[in-house]
A and B are shown apart, each in its own frame.
Chain A
Amino acid sequence: MANFALKDRSAIVGVGESAYGRKLMRSAIDLAADAIVGALDDAGLTREQLDGLVVSFGSPIGADGDTLAQVLGLNLRAYNQTWAHGRFTGSCIQWAALMVNAGLADAVACLASVSFSAVRRPMMGGGGDREGGREAGGGHGEDPVFGMTSPGAGAAMVARRYFERFGADSRALAAVPIAFRKHASMNPHAIMREPFGIDEHQRSRFVCEPLHLLDYCLINDGAACVIVTTAERANDCRKSPVYISGMQPLPAGREEFIWSYPGMGIAQQSVFEYQPELQAVYKMAGITPADVDALFTYDAFSILAWIALERWGFCKPGEAAAFTQNGRIEVGGELPMNTNGGLLSEAHIMAWNHQVEIVRQLRGECGRRQVKDASVIQWANAFGDSIVYRR
């Protein structure tokens, strides 16, 4: 019997970010300082009260956690950082929630910081491709020998498989980046704010067919941070806590591929009709998908929004193409997604910007793009991890 004793026992109490931009001419460490200082200020906590740090997307591409602790003069009881992969965003917050409840730390800053403009290219896909050089092709299923490089190629492979299996197409998929760009148009912090339509999506060049340029996220500079503490300590902070109500960790194995759910038949996955039962994150939070007021997901590529909707049971396999049409995933629709504009249009901060937006939505701080009466928001990914937040 699962033990859900940690339901609502931890909370995010502060969020912060740097400026986001294509080329900020600032190092990842520099940007991280803005996000951490901002998040502590938002929480009403001091540097001395911060005793834990989890750096997501750390070395060798993002801000190195060891360096951060040194140069910011932090005094940490608990510290960790992850491989430079965006998949670990939810895991970092979950570890922080476990740490504060185990008494290993009181307040944990969780963040990612990137200065992609300062990284010598190519960083992913190309001559320096450490990812594709991993023995089983790495998490993105790459193989440079055949020119199968870059994270987007794996997503394109899933998109083609999905189109063929369920009869969907690129025009239907355009609804996802169009919706997120609309959200970004209401977000002054977003990098890409000009709305576009289906024709513009279709005219944008192919990068890895069937995905167009407008199916791809941004490559940019920026940092975003959240502060996690216990529910008890959260009451003493400056603003209303956002509780971590449900958690589901990141799966791995032969039936998993980063950009698809089991049964899709990508890489070494089996082929079967995936039918999600009520996932553990809902059982822990005591809700069902119908209770979710807004859904946030790792949208490095547009197809991931469809995969996430089906993986988490918001619609059945093959139905996401229809589900995402006619404004249903836009603010004001039945299930708003990525109201910040996502990785596709706000910024690619490994979705730490999404966590910041979730907290602000649950506090009612989002102005024109505020989801009315938002009380339960879910972070849930194509790759199978999730957090349910509530105010």
Chain B
Amino acid sequence: MPQNSYQKPLPAISSLNKPYWDGLRNRELMLQKCNGCGMIWAPPSPLCPACWSRKFTWTRLSGRGRVSSWVVFHQAYFRSFEGDLPYNVAEVELDEGPRLLTNLVDIGNDAIRAALPVEVVFDDVSDDVTLAKFKPRAA
């Protein structure tokens, strides 16, 4: 087996979301920010979902946020996740507003709490793809 044979599902990279994935490769959590109304949003859009301006800037975010909700999978829908059971998936509300789905690392599933302060960590899962995961941080 080649060393980089990552078996889990990989993101579908499109013209819309490519800057997000390129950002993660460069250790930057980037989302679109509207040049007009200032909204920062996810998931990527062709225009600002608030004011419909097409003038936006891919902007580096703080990488900080809080857990808004979470679940723990006890059943694997992909064989590649079987070895991780039970594993968590969380929604993290970024300080800038948008929520991202992610996995929390460096924490036991039983220790996860609502509003837990977290910060981004970059997980290089393949030569081309880096995932934004989150770990606890001091408040």
User: A and B from one assembly?
Assistant: yes
A160 touches which one: B43, B70, B84 (CB < 8 A)? B70
A147 — which chain B residues lie within 8 A by C-beta?
Answer: 8, 73, 76-78, 81, 84, 87, 89, 103
B71's partner among A122, A129, A157 (CB-CB below 8 A) is A157
1/0 contact string of B28-70 vs chain A (CB within 8 Å): 0000000000000111000001000000000000000000111
- Which A-chain residue is minimally distant from B129 (CB atoms)? A145
Bound CA span A210–B71, Å = 7
Taking the nearest CB of chain B, how far is it from the CB of A151, in angstroms? 11
A-contacting residues, B1-21, CB 8 Å: 8-12, 14, 16-17
B137 interfacial by beta-carbon distance below 8 Å: no
The answer to whether B68 touches A129 (Cβ under 8 A) is: no
Q: Is there an interface contact between A146 and B89, defined as CB atoms closer than 8 Å?
A: yes
- B contact patch SS: loop
In angstroms, Cα B114 to Cα A210, docked, is 14
Pick the residue among A137, A161, A205 that contacts B74 (CB under 8 A).
Answer: A205
Q: Is the CB of A266 within 8 A of B69?
A: yes
Majority-rule SS of A interface residues? loop
- Residues of B within 8 A of A (CB-CB), count: 37
Q: How far is the CA of A161 from the CA of B73 in the complex (A)?
A: 16
Q: Judge if A263 is at the interface, Cβ distance under 8 Å.
A: no
CA gap between A254 and B45 in the complex, in Å: 12
**Across the interface, do A267 and B78 meet the contact criterion of CB distance under 8 Å?**
no
Tier of interface size on chain A = 35 or more
Q: Which of A123-149 contact B (CB under 8 A)?
A: 125-127, 129, 132-133, 135-137, 141, 143-149
Contact of A207 with B by CB under 8 A: yes
Does residue A164 face the partner (Cβ distance < 8 Å to B)? yes
Contact pattern, B 76-97, Cβ under 8 Å of A = 1, otherwise 0: 1110010010110101010000
Q: Does the CB pair B101–A254 fall under 8 Å?
A: no
* Contact (Cβ within 8 A) A135 B101: no
A127 to B77, CA, bound (A): 8
Residues B69 and A149 in contact, CB atoms below 8 Å apart: no
Q: Which residue of B lies closest to A211 (CB)?
A: B71
Q: Out of B71, B99, B131, which one reaches A153, CB within 8 Å?
A: B71
- Which residues of A have CB within 8 Å of B70? 157, 160
Q: Please tell me if the beta carbons of B69 and A145 are within 8 angstroms of each other in the complex.
A: no
B23 within 8 A of A: no
Within 8 Å of chain B (Cβ to Cβ): is A318? Answer: no
Q: Are A153 and B114 in contact (CB under 8 A)?
A: no
CA distance A132 to B8 in the complex (A): 13
- How many residue pairs, one in A and one in B, have C-beta atoms under 8 Å apart? 96
Query: In the docked arrangement, what's the CA distance between A268 and B98, Å?
Result: 6
Closest to B113 in A: A164
CA distance A129 to B43 in the complex (A): 19
Please, which residue of chain A has its CB at the minimum distance from the CB of B101?
A143
Q: Is A83 part of the binding interface, using a Cβ–Cβ cutoff of 8 Å?
A: no
Which B residues lie within 8 Å of A143 (CB)?
89, 101
Known: A147-B73, A160-B70. A268 touches B103 (CB 8 A): no
Tell whether, in the assembled complex, residue B74 and residue A206 are in contact, meaning their CB atoms are under 8 Å apart.
yes
Contact A161 B98 (CB under 8 A): no
A162–B15 alpha-carbon span in the complex (Å): 36
Give B77 Cβ to nearest chain A Cβ, in Å.
Answer: 4
Beta-carbon contact of A135 and B16 below 8 Å: yes
Enumerate chain A residues within 8 angstroms of B42, measured Cβ to Cβ.
268
Cα distance, A368 to B72, chains bound together (Å): 40
A148 touches B12 (CB 8 A): no
Q: Which of B43, B49, B69, B91 has the most CB of A within 10 A?
A: B69
Q: Is A209 at the interface (CB under 8 A from chain B)? A: yes
Q: Are B103 and A161 in contact (CB under 8 A)?
A: no
Q: Is the CB of A156 closer than 8 A to any CB of chain B?
A: yes
CB-based contact B41/A268 at 8 Å: yes
Contacts of B91 in A (CB 8 A): 157, 266-267
Residues of B within 8 A of A129 (CB): 9, 77
CB-based contact B78/A268 at 8 Å: no
Q: Would you call A207 and B74 a contact (CB within 8 A)? A: yes
> In chain B, what residue has the closest Cβ to A129?
B77
Cβ-based interface call for A150 (8 A): yes
Tell me which of A137, A144, A205, A268 contacts B9 (CB under 8 A): A144
Task: Provide the residues of chain A in CB contact with B17, threshold 8 Å.
Answer: 135
A147-B73, A266-B68 given; name 4 further pairs at CB < 8 Å. A137-B43, A145-B11, A157-B70, A265-B68
Closest 9 CB pairs of A and B: A125-B77, A144-B9, A209-B72, A161-B69, A206-B74, A164-B114, A149-B77, A156-B71, A126-B77
Q: List 8 A-B contacts (CB under 8 A).
A: A122-B77, A126-B78, A127-B78, A147-B73, A147-B77, A206-B74, A208-B74, A265-B68
